[in-house]
Amino acid sequence: MANHKSALKRIRNSETKRLRNRYQHKTTRNAMKKLKDMTKKKEAEKFFPEVASMLDKLAKNNVIHANKAANLKSGLAKHVATLK
């Protein structure tokens, strides 16, 4: 176990950040699943910018890699485009 004050603070901060990242990542995955399950194009087109924004935020905060975010957005955009 860490003995220094700064190390103890680092442990507290790391745990807080880990929980926040985990929550945001799970929320984004659920939103992506919800978007993929949509069948109406208008609904999906309205919801897509929100999901894309969530992915961009995860990439900005290094929760996921920027290229992965781009690939996921591309796939979701293709899905929305195929809807009728």
15-72 pLDDT, tens digit each: 999 999 999 999 999 999 999 999 999 999 999 999 999 999 999 999 999 999 999 9
Look at residue 24 in the predicted model and tell me its pLDDT.
98
Total domains in the fold of the chain: 1
CA dist 1 and 62 (Å) reads: 27
Long-range contacts of 4-10 (CB under 8 A, 24+ apart): none
Query: What's the one-letter identity of residue 66?
Result: A
* Residue 65, Ramachandran bin (φ over 0: left; ψ between -120 and 50: alpha; else beta): beta
User: Measured on CA atoms in the order 40, 41, 43, 44, is the torsion positive or negative?
Assistant: positive
Domain that holds residue 74: 5-82
Look up the CATH number of the domain holding residue 72: 1.20.58.110
CA dist 64 and 5 (Å) reads: 30
**Residue 2 banded pLDDT, cuts 50, 70, 90:** confident
Query: What's the one-letter identity of residue 36?
Result: K
CA dist 10 and 57 (Å) reads: 23
